[in-house]
Amino acid sequence: MPTDKITFQNAGYFSKLMVDYLNQEDNLKHLYNHFPTLQNFKQQIDEKRVNYPTANRAVLSQALLSQYKNTKVSDNTIENIHALTQENTYTVTTGHQLNLFTGPLYFLYKIISVIKLAKELKTKYPTDHFVPVYWMATEDHDFEEINHFVFEEKVICWNKESKGPVGRLSTKGLDKVFEVFQSHIGVGINATYIKELFENAYLKHDTLTAATRYLANELFAAYGLVIIDGDDAALKKLFTPHIKEELLQQSAIKEVEKSYATLADYFIQVNPREINLFYIQDNLRERIIFEDEVYKINNTTITFSKEALLEELEHHPERFSPNVILRPLYQEVILPNLCYTGGGGELAYWLELKSVFDLHKVTFPMLLLRNSVLLATSKQVEKMDKLGLSWKDIFQKQEQLINAKTEEYSTIQFDFDQQRQFLEEQFESLEKIALQTDQSFVGAVNAQKTKQLKGLDNLEKRLRKAEKRKYADQLNRVVLLQNELFPNQSLQERRENFSAFYKAFGNQLINRLFEQLTPLDQNFDTITLEG
């Protein structure tokens, strides 16, 4: 069985920005507060204790109890919700879109990461309490990103028109999706559980928010996970001073741009607007624009004077929704949060926001790159052993992997460096002779040198091609195995849904993830499922 470790840095699937962040390069340190190590949490706790308003705790706890009123809550979760009223309780948070039936596998990895982190922090800091939180992205609008999932290479899709916040979408029509899914999943105890899970979530709840809360609660309530919906009037009320500042001063864009001098060497993940807020209703989610001393709701006839808009904010804070730039600030205002766990793309835009937090005098959380996992069956691992493949091999880009294995299988020397060196030396001698004649002869010598070296390159390519044909059987088996583990030559966790693995392995899937994932490590986990 392969035992080599794959770090995030050498996995080959993370941006230079993320690699440099994980390596704690000096040029990025001004873009975040504390790097996520177990020891650094002490400073983060001390800062959040001072900065988080005590009065927010009662509002937060009551809002969560209200959101859970129609959900069967575990003792661990209800205990955590009540604990949030206490000044020594903090959260560690991840967020995710309301993907149909959880979407890609990494939904599980995000949530398990924060659950494991909360447990690890409790061991290190026993006098404090730590609550794992899943923030549902109920106010998003990118329905095309969330309306499908992949089950055994079949795309299960929900076709529906969506205009407003996705969390308010009616689940009407998902019975047809269930029929399609049911026809593919087959029979068995695990298949029956998955079908019941889908049916109970989406056919017995009226909105996508309620369905997603039920689903995540069923999977993780026993571990004390707290699920929060930011589309809440009471929670938005806590954020109104910050909304007001953005409406009147439009400062976020100026603060975000302060990060560009550093991030220009990498990439800019998201671009701010003049006003980073939406106006939302059930079937409406449009940008707020300030033009000619009037606030306009984009693509509508709705307008407000400054006074009217502030009155609207006072009486209906739930109609104001932060965009990607201000949503992190909203989260950190209403939660006693220490750490945000997300993917590389998420952390990339968080790194643009430190100055926004400083302006609003809100503690910037630690940023933790979520766990990443490659799931393999015991049969696939056996195939790897027989083919002499390590995890490092299997993570290579396919062309690199094929070339490396061809050289390994072949008894012929592929490296023509000796021949190149010989040619270089011969033409160096010829050039010395040419310099004693005229310039045209020097040009002829250089042209011949280029031709000979190019010919050597072509011979090397033809030799490699011939050897690939010779070892086609072994190489094809390598390619087939890698394609199983990296569908479409991309990360499994970004495409596959948990249901296919749960159908095959049942509770072993969740149990193995909880056993192996260690949030503060920087390793890409490889997990073998038996059966």
How many CA atoms does the CB half-sphere of 79 hold within 13 Å?
A: 9
| pLDDT of amino acid 316 | 98
Phi-psi region of 361 (alpha: psi -120 to 50; beta: other; left: phi over 0): left
CA gyration radius for the chain?
28
Q: What is the 3-state secondary structure (H, E, C) of 361-393?
A: CCCCCEEEECCCEEEEEHHHHHHHHHCCCCHHH
The secondary element (H helix, E strand) that includes residue 81 is helix 75-83
| pLDDT of amino acid 390 | 95
477 contact partners, CB below 8 Å, separation of at least 6: 383, 387
**Collapsed DSSP state (helix, strand, coil) of residue 528:** strand
**Collapsed DSSP state (helix, strand, coil) of residue 447:** helix
Residue 1: count other Cβ atoms within 10 Å of its Cβ.
11
DSSP state of 188: S
How many CA atoms does the CB half-sphere of 293 hold within 13 Å?
A: 1
Assigned token pair, 406: 């061809």
Interior/surface letters 351-366, b for 16+ CB within 10 angstroms, e for the rest: bbbbbbbebbebbbbb
| pLDDT of amino acid 2 | 72
> What's the rounded Cα separation, in Å, for the pair 63 and 91?
16
How long a stretch of residues is the chain?
A: 531
Is residue 162 within 8 A of residue 141, CB to CB? The reply is yes
Is residue 174 within 8 A of residue 202, CB to CB? The reply is yes
Among the listed residues 193, 102, 203, 95, the one whose alpha carbon sits nearest the alpha carbon of residue 139: 95
Distance of CA 254 to the CA centre of its chain: 26
Is residue 368 within 8 A of residue 36, CB to CB? The reply is yes
Is residue 326 within 8 A of residue 225, CB to CB? The reply is no
> What's the rounded Cα separation, in Å, for the pair 94 and 112?
10
Assigned token pair, 487: 């569908």
Phi and psi of 177, rounded to 5°?
A: -65, -40
What is the block-wise mean pLDDT of the chain (531 residues), using blocks of 10 residues? Answer: 84 96 98 98 98 97 97 96 98 98 98 98 98 98 95 96 95 97 96 98 98 98 97 98 98 97 95 98 96 96 98 98 98 98 98 98 98 97 95 96 86 63 65 68 71 68 72 93 96 97 97 97 95 79
Among the listed residues 94, 102, 101, 116, the one whose alpha carbon sits nearest the alpha carbon of residue 38: 116
Strands 148-151 and 6-7: unpaired
Beta bridge partners of 461: none
Is residue 136 within 8 A of residue 212, CB to CB? The reply is yes
Sheet holding 284-291, edge to edge: 303-304, 294-297, 284-291, 277-281, 320-322
**Collapsed DSSP state (helix, strand, coil) of residue 6:** strand
* Global pTM value: 0.91
